[in-house]
A = this chain, B = another copy of it.
Amino acid sequence: MTQLELAKNNKITPLIKKVSEAENISAKKLIKDIATGRVVIPKNVRHNISRPCGVGSGLKTKINANIGTSTDKGNLKDELKKLSAAIKYGADAVMDLSVGGDLKKIRQEVLKRSPVPVGTVPVYEIAVNAKRQRNNPLKFDARDMLHCLESQAEEGVDFFTIHSGVTQKNICALKTSKRILNIVSRGAAILASWMNYHKEENPFFEYFDQILKIAYRYDITLSLGDGLRPGSVLDATDKAQISELKTLGALAQRARKKNVQVMIEGPGHVPLNQIEENIALEKKYCNNAPFYVLGPLVTDIAAGYDHISSAIGGALAASFGADFLCYVTPSEHLRHPSEDDVREGVIASRIAAHAADIVKNPKAALKWDKAMSLARRSKDWKRQIELSVDPEKAKNYRASSKPRQDDVCTMCGEYCSIKLTEKCMRE
């Protein structure tokens, strides 16, 4: 039985207990939210993970870090370094998006070493195999697809992004949407190309029931990909995007009926003032399924700093109810990310997630800010550094610039406001 099925039957499993303790909520509340589909716990029955994570309403905002080789860059060793960095800096989940090198080997190593849930986009492996075996990434059929899903499931992948919403109907909506950038999802681009090449319906849509059977057997969480997400703020919240979202909502209902956990992926590039609406639409059309957003980037012009554009959008999205933030690194739109890019992406997402948690659950979240502010008040630098989102960087910054009086910092020196105020507020 899947966690969803167990929750429907009111069973509190060890996994539920662990997650409820980590979140400091009651197991009873947690299974209620799992039973209604508002929360998922991505964990393949065959995968041991020491830091399982719940995703959904009432829980802390979670963050995901994408790693994986491209056809141009990356090898197993580099990707494992990036995995370590992602974990070290606080990712709650990782996705292995490899399309270069020995995909199976890389995935297995990531699965073996990751203490957090691991997701994949199986259509990548399907296309890469087709290219390698038949010299055309589009030369695959539904059997190849199901075979790949089954084999990744058996290896222990915890969640699959599948682009089942990229249907003929939604591609029609896209064609009339007059976008600047039609499709910016790699998976959706492969599938739209496949559909055009074979003149057939998307196999991830056509064979959704068979996919559910595999997901059910391993308790894999399906992450329904937003293949038609906007890739420019000018394309946001258009007919193509909303049409696909409605399809995903209907598919989510089918998944839940078969006791398969499901979450929904969301945009993308969205202007600040459309973010609240985007969250509300997802919650409405997808019956409050957990919302996993890719950004959103609030402007298209921040190449080199898209982790910042994404932190702005992600913080706002999560404060309005998005549950899971996919990080964006500074290298987005420019290159395959480095280990350092991974660190910067994870930290930016954590800041966004925490800023949102202050809104979602102030009592719990503000403890961290309170501890930091108390450390500032008492000019306890050791504690301030420990409490920083990246203690190593904070330590290096302070060490690089030594004040003459060691209870202040070199910004204000002897004119430290906290130090000056201490005296006059006492009197």
CB–CB B308/A421 < 8 A = no
Report if A6 contacts B (CB, 8 A). Answer: no
Q: Mark A190-203, 1 if CB is under 8 A from B, else 0.
A: 10110111000000
CB–CB A273/B234 < 8 A = no
Shortest Cβ gap from A213 to chain B (Å): 28
Report if A175 contacts B (CB, 8 A). Answer: yes
Contacts of A348 in B (CB 8 A): 305, 308
Shortest Cβ gap from A175 to chain B (Å): 7
**Of B70, B137, B272, B394, the contact of A315 (CB 8 Å cutoff):** B272
Contacts of A300 in B (CB 8 A): 368-369, 372-373, 376
Name the residue on B nearest A376 (C-beta). B181
CB–CB A319/B273 < 8 A = yes
Contacts of A185 in B (CB 8 A): 417
Give chain A interface residues in 369-415, CB to chain B under 8 Å: 369-370, 372-374, 376-377, 384-385, 387-390, 393-394, 397-398, 400-404, 409-415
A100-B410 Cα distance, complex, nearest whole Å = 11
CB–CB A393/B312 < 8 A = no
Name the residue on B nearest A137 (C-beta). B415
Contacts of A359 in B (CB 8 A): 271-273
**Central interface residue in A331, A402, A409, A421, by most chain B CB within 10 Å:** A421
CB–CB B388/A351 < 8 A = no
CB–CB A354/B410 < 8 A = no
Known contacts A301-B354, A417-B183; is-contact A308 B309 (Cβ 8 Å): no
A366-B388 Cα distance, complex, nearest whole Å = 36
Name the residue on B nearest A332 (C-beta). B411
Report if A73 contacts B (CB, 8 A). Answer: yes
Q: Mark A307-319, 1 if CB is under 8 A from B, else 0.
A: 1110110011001
CB–CB B355/A312 < 8 A = yes
Known contacts A73-B401, A362-B271, A417-B185; is-contact A304 B180 (Cβ 8 Å): no
Report if A95 contacts B (CB, 8 A). Answer: no
CB–CB B232/A302 < 8 A = no
Contacts of A148 in B (CB 8 A): none
Report if A423 contacts B (CB, 8 A). Answer: yes
CB–CB A72/B272 < 8 A = no
CB–CB B180/A370 < 8 A = yes
CB–CB A356/B409 < 8 A = no
CB–CB A234/B335 < 8 A = no
Contacts of A231 in B (CB 8 A): 373, 376, 417
A322-B14 Cα distance, complex, nearest whole Å = 49
Shortest Cβ gap from A13 to chain B (Å): 33
Report if A127 contacts B (CB, 8 A). Answer: yes
Contacts of A366 in B (CB 8 A): 233-234
Report if A222 contacts B (CB, 8 A). Answer: no
CB–CB B186/A401 < 8 A = no
Report if A71 contacts B (CB, 8 A). Answer: yes
Contacts of A233 in B (CB 8 A): 358, 366, 369
CB–CB A415/B376 < 8 A = no
A207-B426 Cα distance, complex, nearest whole Å = 27
Residues of chain A having any CB pair with chain B under 8 Å:
70-73, 99-100, 124, 127, 137, 174-175, 180-186, 188-190, 192-193, 195-197, 231-235, 271-273, 298-305, 307-309, 311-312, 315-316, 319, 330-337, 347-348, 351-352, 354-356, 358-359, 362, 366, 368-370, 372-374, 376-377, 384-385, 387-390, 393-394, 397-398, 400-404, 409-418, 420-421, 423-425, 427
Given contacts A192-B420, A311-B311, 7 further A-B contacts (CB under 8 A): A182-B421, A192-B425, A196-B427, A273-B319, A299-B351, A301-B368, A301-B387
Nearest 4 A/B pairs, CB to CB: A71-B413, A335-B401, A232-B373, A189-B417
